[in-house]
Structure formats: structure tokens, C-alpha cells
Structure 1
Amino acid sequence: MVSALVWFVFLLLFNSSVLVGCLNDEGVALWSFKQSLQDPEGSLSNWNYSDENPCSWNGITCKEEKVVSVSIPKKKLGGFLPPALGSLTALRHVNLRNNKLYGSLPVKLFEAQGLQSLVLYGNSLSGSIPSEIGNLSYLQTLDLSQNFLNGSIPASLLHCKRLRTLGLSQNNLTGALPDGFGASLVALEKLDLSFNNLSGSIPGDMGNLSSLKETVDLSHNHFTGSIPESLGNLPEKVYIDLAYNNLSGRIPQNGALVNRGPTAFLGNPGLCGSPLKNPCPRDTLGASPPSSLPYIPTNGSPMTPDGGDGKGRGLSKGAVVAIVAGDVVGICFIGLLFSYCYSSVCACRKHRDEDTGNFEKSSKRRKECLCFRKDESETLSENVEQYDLVPLDMQVSFDLDELLKASAFVLGKSGIGIVYKVVLEDGLTLAVRRLGEGGSQRFKEFQTEVEAIGKLRHPNIVKLRAYYWSIDEKLLIYDYIPNGNLATAIHGKAGMVSFTPLPWSIRLKIMKGIAKGLAYLHEFSPKKYVHGDLKPNNIMLGHNMEPHISDFGLGRLANIAGGSPTLQSNRMTSEKQQQQETPFEVASVSPTMNSASFYQAPEAPKSVKPSQKWDAYSYGVILLEMISGRSPIVQVGTTEMDLVRWIQLCIEEKKPLSDVVDPFMARESEKEEEMVAMLKIALACVQANPEKRPSMRHICDALDRLTASSA
């Protein structure tokens, strides 16, 4: 009996050893990874040692039974990054972003020489970047942002010549950029080195990064010296951010550096010249004339630099006449050429209009239009589509699959499409606007517009985080702002059980925030934008009732996207009408009149292009609405009039302030002076003559003085 029991135990142990021993080498390497981790969410629960290979494990992708991808983002995995990953010979992609990994980057990890993407941002990794990273000659994406890495950027990184995305922001990196940085990494499309302690000068060869598509972010470092003029060689649509360094000298005005707003250069006290308001000293206003050219004094007598009379060196009278005559002929020739080309392009446009829908007929005519014609490479084929989510900053930590699998709730519907509240698996909440289906495929134009909007960063502007474009779908992904819109906060909405009007202090805070957001758009954004459609419905309120201006540029994007947005979605799952949350709904104020039109400036219907003065007028109407607590349409007896006219009528009739101000604020009599001051600002904004309206920057200054005096 005892011997039988011993034999049974032996067989059991033997069979267990057979089971344990069947996992292949790659599975054993990954199993050691699991053993070294804390996995509080059980994300690796199906990783079993008894499996033949790891290809069915969560986060593992295989090709021909070889591991090619390890992707386990946002699962709160804690522990050291294992060197065993380097033994996976076919490994191409590692994505362990937004976990709790710590310790240094293991040198053996870089033995996986076929690695194409290494995404580890949002962990707690420390130590330096090993020089062995240069072994990854196929590397295209390297994102180590938001860690605690230190030391310098290794020169061996320049061996990664296929690198397209380099994100090292928010670390503790020091030292200068490696020599040849720009000349070596010419394939770079995204570059973010912000929020480090990098020093030295900006390499002049960075102008060679001609493949860049988004932002070159070198902000919040310790770079010194002047801004290389070669940065102007970068593609013009690239936004160059050099803010908060120790740069000095004149800001070059060439190529991609021309017409930039001041935001890109703030925090560099030594910089001068446009677009900053810090003028350059006289001795740096420009290069002095070359010494070989004669200096012409005011009396007209040519003198050489050494003080001689310049005889034999100056130009004769005949030569001067010949030069002038040549210039005149050249200018005339250019003028004629311009006129011819202009008429040609107009003719082209006419032929194109006549042959709309029949490109075969007009192809011959288009060949004759030789001037002012866009390069054909800039035109997107109608068959080209983009089927992936495009992030607009390095902080986007979700992908298209996560977005489409998330729960979605309808927040509001309009002629421009549906807005959803989308809750991802990890709890991140977003607002997604669907622009509709179909329409013309003007992707390049859409891309340029949406990426420009995505660069706007201000506490009072809703952040556009990402977008998606295809024939069937156009999505804009924003930060979700939780406290609804200003229209609801002022007036409540139908069906609301209880409604508490905002106190004056909150209203004042909101009014200041809106002004700051508009001033940023007008004065400090890269292109000095205009909103053009400001109203309480598109001013969202955050956790602390801080305002966020939304829907900026939306009409333009909807027009480019084309088609009529439908009111149904076949993309979002779990669509539910969430009745208690409708921050994008329009407050119902009158069944007979369209309230939105009363926020438009009087000159708007007659103008083609919106102006900053339009926004000032809209802002003034919103101020009147917040001060009075009334809708933009006021019922007076049996008639209705707009709020601006009603306020003006009250002033003409010398009615007491209590008749104008929201009755709820009657108890706040100590704030009466502030209310009167705000009323004056509002009336200045709604002047019929646009030229008499103040700029948003002046309004911000007035509000700052007002709150400072009452503090």
C-alpha cells in the first residue's frame, strides 16, 4: 500500500514536470516578467505556465508563433522592467505606458534589435538612457516621457536613423543635444524634449528636420544662445515652441519662424524683436553693410570706409542710369508675367466650374494653367483615407479601439452633429463630436485646420486632444468638461428639479476667464484667431466653475468635412440618452425667436470674414445676460426685444439698478459698484460701431483692475 502511494506521488510529480516543462523559451522569458510584477487588476491572469506558448496571453501578439508585440498599457503594473524582453528575437513593439514600473532601463532590453516601437511613458523609470539604445537601428517610435530619467541624451541615439517619433518630455535629462542631432534624425515627424534640464545651444542643423509634421517642443529647458536661423527651414505648418529657456538675441524672421505668435518665445528675457514687445537694441537692428561696399553720406558724395574720396571706385552716372533702367524693365516684365498668370488661373477656375463633375473634359484645359497651380503632391486623392486616431499632443494615452469600445452617452445634437460623453475602461472621460458621414475628401485641408486648433493651449480653452477621419466618420475628441454649459448655469433648463442661480463671485470669475480665453485667441495664439460664434452654449464650466471656451473653428471643420451630419451613430457602442446630463444643449428661451442670432454683431450678416470685434460684441451680450439674469430675448408686454436694446431702454428711462440686475443678487448690495463697472464694460462691448468696441486685452486689463481694487 505504501509503495503504491509512493508510485502515485511519483507519477503525479512526473506529469506535473511534463506540464511545467512544455512552455517554450519565449513563454519562459515572459513568465519571468510576470513573476517580477505586481498585478493588482489581474491583467495577466491568463498567463499560464502550462501553456505551450504565450501567444494566447493577454497583451501578447505572435506571428508564426514568435512574440512580436507586448502591449499592456494602463494596468497599474508595478515592478522592474525585465531584461528578459530582450531575448524575444522577433519582438517589434513594446507598449507598457501608464503603469507603475520603476528602476532603470535594462541594457539587455536593447538586444531586441528588431524593435520598432518602445513606448514606456507615464511610469517611474529612473537612471540614464543606456548607450546601447543605438543598437535599435529599426526603431521608429521612442516615447519615454513622464518618467524620472536623468543624465544626457546619448550620442548613440543618432544611430536610430529611422526614428519618427521621439518623446522625452517631463524627465530630468541634462546636458547638450548630441552633435549632429538634426543632420542624423532627418526622419523625425514628432519631437518633444520639453520640461527637462537640457542646456547648451540649439543645434543649427535642426533645420534639416524636414519631415516634421507637428510641434518641435524644446520649451521649459535651459537652452542658451541665439535661435538658429536654420529653424526657419522647417516645414511652415510645424509649431516651434522655445518658451521658457535662456535664449537671447533677435528672433529670426524667416520661413517657419515668420508670423509666429509670442507664445512660442515667452520666458526668454534675452530675446528681442517681433513678435515680442521687447525691442532689440540699436546695435542689433540688423547686419551692418559689408565693408567692401561704399558708404553713402547724406551729402551724396561717395566715400570709401577708410575715408577716401572713392574716385575710380564709385559708379558713374551712366552706370546708375543703366541700372535704374534695367530695374524698371525687370519690374515691368514681372508685372506682365503676373498679369498673364493671374488671368490664366482665373480662366482655369472658370473652366473647372463649367466642367464640374466631368474631370475628363477639363484635364486638357488644366494643363494650360501653368501659373499659381498647387503642386499635385499637395492634393489628396479621393481614395486616400485615414483609418487611425491621430493624437494632437504627446499626452494622449488611448487609441481608436479603446475609444470605440467605450460607453458613450448622447450629450446633445445640432446641425453640426452629435456630441457624446465617452467613458473609457480606465475611467478617462472625453467629449467626442461626430461631424457626420460622406462629403468631399479634403483630408489635407482638414488635417491642417484641426492640427492648428490642436496646438491651442490655454486654461480657458477646451483642449482638442485627437481626431479621426475616414469616409464614414469624422470625429473630434476633446477634454470632457463636467459642469455643463453657461446657458444652463444662468437659466437652468426644462425639467430641472432645483435650480440655484450663480452668486456674483462665480459670475465674475467666469466673466474674467472668458475674457482671458478670448484675449489668448486674439493676441497670443499662433495665428491670432477669431472665434466667430461665441455664446453661452459653447462656454463649458469645469470642476471649480472655471469657464472653457469650446467649438472654436467647428464651423470651418464641418464645412471641410462636408455632408450633412446624421443624428445616428453606428460607431459608438452602448449609446444611451443621458437625460440628466446635457451640457451641450441649448437653453430654451423663446419658441418664436432664435436666441443664437442675438449674440452676433450687427455687422456680421453683411461681412464675409469674422473679426475680433465680433467676439467682443458676443462677449458683451453674455455679460449683460449674466448681470441681468435674463435671456438674450426679453419679453416686454406683448412684444419681444433683444437684451441689448432692453438694457439701453432701461438706461434711457433711468430705471434703478435693481430693475436691471438679476433679482437673485439683490442680497449682494456690497458688490453693487462691481456690477455697475461690469455693466459699463458690457455696454462698451455692444457698441454698434465696431471701432468703438474695446479689444479683449483691454477688457482683461479692466477686469484685473476691478478685482484688484475690490480685493
Structure 2
Amino acid sequence: MAAATLLSHFAICLCLLPFTHLYASSNSDFDALMAFKVASDEGNRLTTWNSTSNPCAWNGVSCLRNRVSRLVLENLDLTGSLAPLTGLTQLRVLSLKRNRLSGSVPDFSNFTALKLVFLSYNQFSGVIPASLMSLVRLYRLDLSHNNFTGQIPASVNRLSHLLTLRLEENRFSGPVLELNLPNLQDFNVSANRLSGQIPKSLSTFPASCFGQNLGLCGSPLQSCNGIVTNPTEPGSEGAIASPITPPRNLTVSSSPTSLPGVAPESTHHKGTGKIGSLALIAIILGDVLVLAVVSLLLYCYFWRNSSDKSRDRKGPKLLESEKIVYSSSPYPAQAGTERGRMVFFEGVKKFELEDLLRASAEMLGKGGFGTSYKAILDDGNVVAVKRLKDAQVGGKREFEQHMEVLGRLKHEHIVSLRAYYFAREEKLLVYDYMPNGNLFWLLHGNRGPGRTPLDWTTRLKIAAGAARGLTFIHNSSKFLRLVHGNVKSTNILLDQSGNARVSDFGLSLFTPPSTPRSNGYRAPECGEGRKLTQKSDVYSFGVLLLELLTGKCPSVVENGGPGGGGYGGVLDLPRWVQSVVREEWTAEVFDLELMRYKDIEEEMVGLLQIALTCTSASPDQRPKMIHVVKMIDELRGVEVSPFHDGSDSVTDSPSVSEGTCGGDGGGASSQ
């Protein structure tokens, strides 16, 4: 009997093992969430939260490596304290806006991974805890519309990455301290009890960010000059009075005897009675005028605020505008505009546009087709986003058809398009991001002492990889003769293994006619408005090879002299190389950084001949890219097919920071 009981207990334990394994690594997270639900969810709004399911599948909960990384519970009428949530030690995003949570904010020192904190429209009170100022990875902090008191702590300067600081509609008092937050984009302390002069570091924010603080002065509000204090009033030392309203202990009366500086009529000579009456009339008229102006200003201010609030109540616009304000992303569509949708290509992990808008963004570069950004999503994934702001995009159908063509291109030497977003006001392209830079910076960055030169083997490998990528683009369709249209060193990126990836291809269709192309790479037959061809790509690639060989940027300004081609202006790299070769000074062409390597002269001369062939003035004399690949492979002594069909390897970021060697900047802009 005892043996049977033991076996039954053993069987039960075996049945429970899968569940134990499921929650073992996040048991503390599970306990914290359940404790919070019990204490705060009086209305049972969190219906999916139960003890028999995986917490990572609960509404409002997202996980990373089986730990809760994101908790978004907005407008659920939750009550109580935040204390139960302090066990979520891997939390990155905490958004509890528009609930009825109350009490002081607990110790946040366990939340070392927090990046975004949104606690607005609740009933929190007390001072800002010091632990909140220790979250050095924080990007967004919104404590607005609560009952916080005390001063804004100087320790907020520790949050050096902070992009948003929203403290409006609380009961903060004291001065606004100097903030040294270089990345701060969104700041608001309006409707508090703050006083003193606004520091210069915050004077660039609009007046609405400081409004309804009667004691504040200085730019962008009224000047502090002439503002008086009333040191005789208890507790008012150093307080600043409004230049419009009188001090609080001074009663202004219509009686002339109670006006400052106006003595009773009996103390004046008869000849001054008329002057006193005129002065009195002038003062009364002045008071009436000032009161009228103030009333008008107050009416306009409150009317505008009430209009804004009424618009905010109209549903989705509120959420959309909040995401715009709280996002560091420079590419959200404006509130009220047409909403598009994210379109993903096969094999890509999907995310919502809102995830992109919430992401922390950093500008990577600006080129002829738009601006590119690095975006860090809440789940830790990093993508590169190109905003086609300056592109000339036709209709939606034309755009989508072209994106479908580009999205199907997969190859180990190109940067594949992963997703796109189309709306009337916004067009976004999403690529994988890789941080290893581009050919331009490897060649030209940090020239001088201490620089690590780009060795010959690496240069030749990059040339071969870029040639394969461009060949794949040219031969990817039997019906469409696809053209890159913008071959240059900033558009050759390197993956983790140092392999070249061609980026920014297929976008020349969207280039406005007035946009100047990269003159240093442009084929001579491609003037303004002329159609780009695959042969013009070959010319640009030839210039790229000359850039690899010479270490010179095609857009650098030369002043003439030895080695400079004898002329000023923008360097025409093919022309300069040809002139030097004709004078039989071929050795003068090559980059001095290559002179330290032995037994490479033959390979350098061979690649120079390929480059000169590609940059022939006549398009008909230029080889096809598939032949360029074969010539480079023969030079390297390898036998590799021009491209691998069906390759779907990991790709790079399509953009890197803009840079030039000098001159007009047209030859080295990023994308």
C-alpha cells in the first residue's frame, strides 16, 4: 500500500515537471505579477492572468528569454501600489498610464534594465524617489498628471540618455535646476508650483512647457527684470512675483489714499489738486487696460487648452499623438494623417508600426533618397529604417509593386529589404542593421598617425564581394533590367565576417529630377534628367575600384600640383588616374598605405586595368558586371560562380553616417 502511494506521488511529480520547467526561470516574475493582480485589479480586467497559463502570453506582458521585459497596462482602472512589481528585475518598458494607482513610487533600484517609464494620469504622491534617478539606461520618464510634491531633484542629470521628461500637472515646487541632458527632446513642467528663473539650457523649449507656474520667469516666459519680491511676508523670501499681478499682501483700492505714492488731497497745495486728479484718472485707465489685456490672454490660453483636451477625447488620435511625443523616432506620421500598414517579406520577424514609433532612434546618415536611422525596438532587436522624405514617390500601387520586386532579392552580398510602410505622408523602408561601417570610412576615416590602414587582401575581398552583389542585382530578373543607380563607397557595407554588402539599390526610381547625383561616381553620359543604365552602374563601380586603389575620394577638391592632375576643383578620379598612367608614373597612383605590402604590385596593376576598362568614356566599351566578377576572381586566383542563387544570409544596415573627403560632399553622402 505504501509502495502504491509512493508511486502515485511520483507520477504526480512527473506530470507537474513540464509546468515547473516552464516557470522555473521566471518564478519571481510570475509571483510579482500575480501579487499585483490581486492587489490592483478590483474590476478583474486582467482576465488572461491566471495561475495555469504562461505569463508571457498574458495581455500586456512581453518576455525576452523567458523573463518579463515589457509591461503595458493602460486605461484599465487599476488601483493600489506599484510595490508588487519590484520583482520584475528584467523589465525594460513599464507603462501604466491612465489608471488609479496611488501612493509613493517604490524603490526602483531593481529595475536596472528599464528604458521607458510611463506613469502619467494616476494618483501617485510624494517625492520622486532617488532610486528612479539611478536608472542610467532610461530614455523616457513620464510622471505627468499625478500628485507628486517636493523639488525636481538635481540627480536627474545622471540620466544622460534621457529623451523625454514629463512632469506637468503635479505639485512640484522650488526652482527649475540647470539640466545637462544633451539628448532631451520632450520636456514639460507646466502647471506646478515652480519659481525662479528658467535656466538657459531649457530656454529653447516653448513657453507652454513652463506655463501655469506663476513664480517662473525668464526666456521663453516674461523677463525677470523688474520682478519684485516681498521679503517681509513670512515664508516668501526670494519668491518672485508676477510683473502683472501685485504682491499678495498688497491691497489695491480705488481710493486715492490707498494707492502707493498718492497722498491725501488735504496735504497738497491747491495748485496740485488738478495734477493729482489727472494722475488718478490715468492710473485707473491704465489698470482697466491691463486687466482687459490679461483677461484676453487668459481667455485665449484656457480656450486653446480646452480645445486640445476635447480633441484628445476623440479616441485613437490621443494614443497616436502620445506615441509621437514619447517616441524618439523622427519618422512618425503626424496625428490625423492617413494610416498605412507595415508589409513584411518572408522569413522576417514581424513587429507593429507602434513598436517602431516607440523605439529609440539615432540618425545614421542623410542622402539623396532620404534619411536613415538606427532603431532599437523594445525587445532588443535593432533595425535600420530609411525615411523616403525627399524621394519622389508616385502612387501607392506603383510603390508597392516596386517594393515587391526589391523585397524578393536575397543574396549574401546585398542588403535585403525586410519590410516597408506606405502612407500618404510617410514612406519607410526597414532593413537589418549591422554596426560594422562602410567602405568609405574604412578608406578615408581617421587618416593620419594611429590609423589602422585597410590592407590589400581586405580591399580585394571587398571589391570581389561588391562586384558579386551588383552582378546579382543586374541579373536578378529576366524581364526587368534592374539598376542600382547609386554605387559609391558609402553604400558598400561590411557584415560580421568582413564580406561586402551592396545597399541602397533600386531606389533611383524615386530620385527627384532636381536632386544632384554623386558627381564623382556619375558616368559622363548621365547628365541631369538622363536615364541610368546598368552600364552607368559599371562606370560607378570602376570609380569605386579606383577609390580602393588610390585612397582618394572622388569628390575631394584638388589644388593642382604634383599628383593632383594639374587642375583645381572637384577631382575627376578616372581622368586623373589616366593622366598619371599616360606619363608612365603608374606607381604614383596607388595609395601610400599599400606600399608597405610586398609582392602585390602585379595584382594592383591588374585591378587598375579592370577599373580603367569599367570607366571607359563609351558605355559600349565597358564590360558587363558578370565579366568584371570573372576578371577579379582570376586576379585573386579563385574560381567562384558570379553569384549564389537562393542565398538568404544575414544582411547589413543600409546606411552609415554621412561623410565626405572634402569638396562638394556629393560623392560620399550616405544613401
Q: TM-score range by the shorter chain?
A: 0.3 to 0.5
Structure showing greater radius of gyration is 2
TM-score, structure 2 length as denominator?
Answer: 0.45
